[in-house]
Amino acid sequence: MSSILIKNGEVITATDRFFSDVHIEDGKIVNIGKNLEKPKSATQVIDAKGHYIFPGAIDAHVHMELPFMGEVSADDFETGTAAGVAGGTTSIIDFVIPARNQMLLDGLKMWKEKAKKSVADYAFHMAVTWFGDKTAKEMEHCVREEGITSFKTFMAYRGAIGVDDTEMIKVMETAKNLNALVTAHCENGEMVVALQEKLFREGKLEPKYHAQSRPAPLEGEATARAIMLARMTGVPLYIVHVTAKEAVDAINEARLRGQVVFGETCPQYLLLDDSVYEKANFEGAAYVMSPPIRPLGHQEPLWAALKSGIIHTVATDHCPFNQHGQKTLGAKDFRKIPNGAAGIQNRLTLMYTYGVLTGKIDLHQFVEVNCTRPAKLFGMYPRKGAVMVGADADIVVWDPTKEGVISAKTHLHKCDRNIFEGYKTKGAPAWVIVNGRVQYDHGNLKVERGAGRFISRAAGL
């Protein structure tokens, strides 16, 4: 195993900043202190002068190799986690999504197999896409035997992976008994279908109608409903990919009442507006995701919610589909465009450039929402999300001066579009250490297929 000494850097945590050296041995952080001597064992010394040292980021919402809407998302666990490492993300949480009527544990078996290629550590949320006789027992098995301590419910995607309120209540009651967390994709699924059918009947078929079929109030309604169901069942709730100010208001109201509700958002909802759907030549399809990119007026409330602690994490919902051959399935009908886009490589640099450097969040909040809070909420702290003696040696050495421009021509996502095409960035990883090994060094990726390990997570907040 390698031993690395990082010298002269400034450690940034969710609460503190201090100049310190960091010594890594056998995949763990073993010493943090000023003027550390080079240990005899050290095989590498990194001079981090002028750089920040963050905990490796966790992307708590990704979909690698996901069968969805008749296609499979374009990054697999190897390419997706490699792109993540290049961007400073050293652990992911993917979603096991069994088909309706498939046993949860059969779905888990499939995901375990796919994830063996991962270059970085990974964990799973379990999506409950239907509720049968054995589901409660399977959920118990997930928590007690598999270290899968969060369950996902989709209120959208009716007729596919979506659940109704009765099923959702059962998931919540079971999760409550298991001390587990319920996560929810909040959109009113029935109304989305009704609007989709109306638009289709009217001959409105282009990508922009995807957004019109899923307006913000439908997210607000479903968020409030999920919160009410969680309140009645007494389970903690985590709302994934919050996009709309109506949803922010619902979360805030619940929290002010003392309910345990958390929110996640993604860079695309903070930075883009729905004018992207007006792009000519079917280019708007690249932005077809659910919930959709919102009109102007939603982004500032999201930033404010992040800054004020109403929203707690930033993830990517990384779920790339190629424009050619995948998105084009919906060339004549927006309902058939596979939903999702790439983002795992770009999250940190976007949040640093457009969040920290603009003053919308501070450096500690940047570490909190990208690294530390996901680890805490999902039962991985302090093994993950911390620069602390005893923690896993997942570390980002960050160059705050490095400038770049995001492009599908250069990104490592295995897809032909980048929804942040042309975005200028400042601040990027210089070195990324994963499990004690330098896996990224100034543009050179040195990842190893299969080196990632499954992270068993603790239950309870």
Sites of contact with ligand URP (CB under 6 A): 63, 185, 289-290, 317, 319, 339-340
Closest CA to 390 of 90, 26, 28, 36: 28
Q: Binding marks (x or -) toward Zn ion, 136..175, rule CB under 5 A?
A: ----------------------------------------
Work out what residue 339 binds among Zn ion, ligand URP, none; the CB cut-off runs from 5 to 8 Å by kind: ligand URP
Work out what residue 57 binds among Zn ion, ligand URP, none; the CB cut-off runs from 5 to 8 Å by kind: none
Q: Could you tell me whether strands 89-96 and 57-62 are parallel, antiparallel, or unpaired per DSSP bridges?
A: parallel
Distances in Å between the Cα of 357 and the Cα atoms of 309, 361, 455 are 19, 8, 33
Rounded CA separation 73/232 (Å): 36
CB-nearer residue toward ligand URP: 63 or 373: 63
Output the smallest distance, CB 240 to ligand URP, in A. Answer: 7
CB-nearer residue toward ligand URP: 51 or 63: 63
Work out what residue 394 binds among ligand URP, Zn ion, none; the CB cut-off runs from 5 to 8 Å by kind: none
* 325 burial type by CB count under 10 A (0-12 exposed, 13-18 middle, 19+ buried): exposed
Work out what residue 386 binds among ligand URP, Zn ion, none; the CB cut-off runs from 5 to 8 Å by kind: none
CB-nearer residue toward ligand URP: 178 or 289: 289
Residue in the shown chain whose Cβ atom is closest to Zn ion: 185
Rounded CA separation 412/125 (Å): 25
Output the smallest distance, CB 44 to Zn ion, in A. Answer: 37
Output the smallest distance, CB 66 to Zn ion, in A. Answer: 8
Position 437, amino acid: R
Closest CA to 17 of 319, 402, 438, 398: 398
Choice from 76, 317, 368, 416 touching Zn ion (CB under 5 A): 317
Output the smallest distance, CB 140 to ligand URP, in A. Answer: 25
Output the smallest distance, CB 340 to ligand URP, in A. Answer: 4
Choice from 185, 384, 417, 457 touching Zn ion (CB under 5 A): 185
Rounded CA separation 170/185 (Å): 16
Task: Report the SS3 class of residue 325.
Answer: coil
277 contact partners, CB below 8 Å, separation of at least 6? 207, 208, 210, 211, 284, 287, 292, 293
CB-nearer residue toward ligand URP: 162 or 436: 162
The piece of 164-172, 180-188, 244-252, 352-360 that touches Zn ion (CB under 5 A) is 180-188
CB-nearer residue toward ligand URP: 91 or 316: 316
Cis peptide before 429 (omega within 30 of 0): no
Work out what residue 340 binds among Zn ion, ligand URP, none; the CB cut-off runs from 5 to 8 Å by kind: ligand URP
CB-nearer residue toward Zn ion: 185 or 335: 185
Work out what residue 371 binds among ligand URP, Zn ion, none; the CB cut-off runs from 5 to 8 Å by kind: none
Closest CA to 87 of 447, 428, 375, 399: 428
Q: Could you give the angle at the alpha carbon of 260 between the alpha carbons of 227 and 231, nearest 5°? A: 40
Distances in Å between the Cα of 189 and the Cα atoms of 155, 165, 292, 357 are 6, 11, 14, 38
Q: Which residues would be at the binding site for Zn ion (CB under 5 A)?
A: 185, 317
